[in-house]
């Protein structure tokens, strides 16, 4: 068998059509490779096809929920944007770091993406933790516990935003802070709450409804640390995105804080430093225009059903029972002279003849003269 110098050095410079070297084996190997390629293409197992399917599923268009009064409600689909990176929180359901972190179940990476269109991977559902948490209605309030769930069109099961304290086996990939992932198991580490970003009014805003598209701080309930995003770039199938982890970033400024502590207005355990923009987020929804919203606020609220029924009863006409009006009295006929004479003579007198039988005075005198 004759081999060329290129084949002996490891480089296949000639095809099987050139009858040099082991051309029969090269021809058979090429046929096997072609059949394997066609089979994997038919089954959709090619890397290009699989990536295209993953991108098509993750980038499927969605639509955020509409809030008629500008408030956040449970069950609403929202987009979450960070003030520091101006990027939107996103989930990568095909990046599973559970093998490297020794997680008990499958977990998926969380990043912030500059892609600002509502798609399946950056749209999330606000779910309620406990129906008997003491907050009325379906409106989300400051301090109320909730969970962030992925959009149903992303995966065939629900994934919840999860975080746990830093440990030798659990930490963010680059910043080595508290790791944030998506997990299919709801637990105590998947509970979150919203607080106001302004420290001066945070206590007063506790328990108030949360307005959509407003700046908030998302805190992890179990560790009491704030969700953050930093400008640490990482590459994935969707391009360059930023890391998400849990760490409370506060400004170095302490304006009047020492003076307030000296006067006894605040204590050392109360956060008085401003919240950094890395911890500030906005939950975006579709809301009415400001003019329409102001018009709705000027309109009086709908009355309570009991009050409305009372108002209808008061506005109804009075239906009290009144005595019937007296019947009109007919004028009595004036009695003639015969009737008056008959009444004077008594009840035993004969009735007066009709008016046709009365004779005139002349007729009476003529009849008497004839006799």
Residues 28 and 96 in one domain: no
Asked if residue 7 belongs to a domain, the reply is no
Mean pLDDT, to the nearest integer, of 208-225?
A: 94
Confidence at residue 255, expressed as pLDDT on a 0 to 100 scale: 60
Residues 156 and 22 in one domain: no
The DSSP code sequence of 285-312 is -B---HHHHHHHHHSPPPPPHHHHHHHH
d(CA 287, CA 212): 8
- Give the rounded percent of residues in the chain with a pLDDT score beyond 70: 67
Residues 26 and 123 in one domain: no
- pTM given for the model: 0.67
* Domain's final residue, options 40, 56, 72: 56
Residues 168 and 136 in one domain: yes
Residues 48 and 96 in one domain: no
Here the tokens at position 107 are 């977990």
Q: Which of 13, 179, 23, 205 is nearest to 111 (CA)?
A: 179
Residues 33 and 75 in one domain: no
Residues 41 and 167 in one domain: no
Q: What would the pLDDT profile of 239-282 be if each residue is shown by its tens digit?
A: 899 999 999 998 776 666 777 777 877 776 666 778 899 999 99
Task: Lowest mean pLDDT of 154-163, 187-196, 319-328, name the range.
Answer: 319-328
Asked if residue 363 belongs to a domain, the reply is no
* Domain's final residue, options 239, 262, 289: 289
Residues 172 and 92 in one domain: yes
Residues 42 and 182 in one domain: no
Residue 32's domain spans which residues?
16-56
Q: How many domains are there within the chain?
A: 2
Asked if residue 309 belongs to a domain, the reply is no
Beta strands in 63-156 (DSSP E): 77-82, 88-92, 108-113, 124-128, 146-150
Asked if residue 355 belongs to a domain, the reply is no
Residues 34 and 107 in one domain: no
Mean pLDDT, to the nearest integer, of 9-29?
A: 66
CATH number of the domain to which 97 belongs: 2.80.10.50
Asked if residue 172 belongs to a domain, the reply is yes
Mean pLDDT, to the nearest integer, of 222-235?
A: 92
């Amino acid at each position: 068998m004759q081999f060329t110098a290129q084949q002996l050095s490891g480089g296949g410079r000639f095809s099987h059509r050139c009858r040099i070297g082991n051309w029969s084996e090269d021809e058979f190997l090429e046929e096997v490779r072609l059949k394997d390629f066609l089979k994997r293409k038919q089954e959709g197992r090619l890397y290009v096809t699989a990536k295209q399917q993953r991108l098509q599923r993750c980038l499927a268009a969605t639509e955020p929920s509409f809030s008629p009064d500008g408030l956040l409600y449970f069950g609403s689909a929202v987009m979450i944007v960070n003030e520091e990176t101006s990027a939107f929180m996103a989930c990568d359901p095909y990046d599973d770091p559970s093998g490297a972190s020794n997680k008990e179940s499958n977990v998926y990476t969380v990043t912030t993406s500059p892609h600002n269109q509502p798609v399946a991977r950056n749209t999330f559902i606000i779910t309620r933790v406990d129906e008997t948490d003491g907050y009325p209605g379906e409106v989300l309030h400051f301090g109320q516990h909730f969970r962030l769930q992925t959009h149903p069109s992303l995966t065939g099961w629900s994934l919840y935003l999860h975080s746990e304290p830093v440990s030798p086996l659990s930490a963010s990939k680059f910043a080595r802070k508290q790791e944030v992932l998506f997990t299919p198991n709801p637990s105590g580490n998947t509970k979150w709450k919203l607080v106001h970003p302004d420290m001066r009014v945070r206590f007063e805003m506790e328990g108030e409804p949360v307005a959509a598209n407003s700046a908030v701080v998302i805190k992890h309930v179990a560790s009491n640390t704030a969700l953050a995003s930093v400008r640490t770039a990482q590459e994935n199938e969707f391009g360059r995105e930023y890391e998400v982890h849990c760490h409370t970033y506060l400004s170095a400024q302490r304006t009047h804080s020492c003076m307030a502590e000296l006067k006894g207005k605040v204590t050392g355990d109360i956060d008085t430093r401003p919240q950094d923009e890395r911890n500030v987020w906005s939950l975006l929804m579709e809301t009415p225009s400001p003019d329409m919203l102001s018009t709705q606020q000027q309109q009086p609220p709908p009355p309570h059903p009991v009050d409305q029924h009372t108002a209808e009863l008061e506005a109804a006409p009075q239906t009290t029972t009144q005595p019937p009006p007296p019947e009109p009295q007919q004028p009595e006929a004036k009695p003639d002279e015969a009737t008056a004479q008959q009444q004077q003579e008594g009840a035993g007198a004969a009735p007066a003849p009709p008016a046709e039988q009365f004779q005139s005075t002349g007729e009476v005198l003529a009849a008497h003269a004839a006799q």
